[in-house]
Amino acid sequence: MYGRRKAKPIGFSNRKHFVGLHYIVDIDGIRNELITNNDKLIELCDASLEIGEVTILNKMIHHFEPHGLTLLYLLSESHFSVHTWPEHNKIRIDFFSCDSNEHRCNCVISHLKNEFIGAEFNSKMLKR
């Protein structure tokens, strides 16, 4: 077919200059008394972001019945979101910071990891 270009595969930039850090966090096997306690989870996320010295501009919370949570933070640095699946003892977190201060971002992730002792905690960081 003439006139059609082959599409480039979608990927991330290999350039040395990046505009932000993107953390993808999967937490599995969370004990029941924590995964079903939305107030404790919110406090834990608030404390983690405070330790990382990020600026919270707004926070939205949605509680599901009988349990479950979606938590979104609008940050001056970008965003932090949390989704829980208590019936599967799982949490998924998405954290993007255009600040590119890896130490501060890692403080947030380390605090979270220390709070979920006994759970399977996996995180991946992408420079974007």
Catalytic residue among 67, 79, 81, 83: 83
Residue 101: per-residue pLDDT: 84
**Residue 13 belongs to a domain:** no
> CA 92 to CA 27: how far, in whole Å?
6
CATH number, position 118: 3.60.90.10
Catalytic residue among 98, 100, 110, 111: 98
Annotated active-site residue 78? The verdict is: yes
**Residue 25 belongs to a domain:** yes
Q: How do residues 95-126 score in pLDDT, each as one tens digit?
A: 999 977 899 999 999 999 999 999 999 999 99
pTM for the model:
0.85
Distance linking the first and last C-alpha atoms of the chain: 35
Domain count, the chain: 1
**Residue 3 belongs to a domain:** no
Closest to 78 in 3D by CA, of 101, 97, 50, 94: 97
Q: How do residues 31-57 score in pLDDT, each as one tens digit?
A: 999 999 999 999 999 999 999 999 999
Domain containing residue 63: 21-127
Residue 7: per-residue pLDDT: 53
Closest to 68 in 3D by CA, of 34, 33, 35, 116: 35
**Run of H or E including 113:** helix 102-115
Catalytic residue among 67, 78, 81, 100: 78
Q: How do residues 52-88 score in pLDDT, each as one tens digit?
A: 999 999 999 999 999 999 999 999 999 999 999 999 9
> CA 77 to CA 105: how far, in whole Å?
11
**Residue 4 belongs to a domain:** no
**Residue 6 belongs to a domain:** no
**Residue 12 belongs to a domain:** no
Annotated active-site residue 83? The verdict is: yes
Closest to 85 in 3D by CA, of 43, 26, 15, 127: 26
**Residue 111 belongs to a domain:** yes
> CA 94 to CA 123: how far, in whole Å?
10
**Residue 63 belongs to a domain:** yes
Annotated active-site residue 76? The verdict is: no
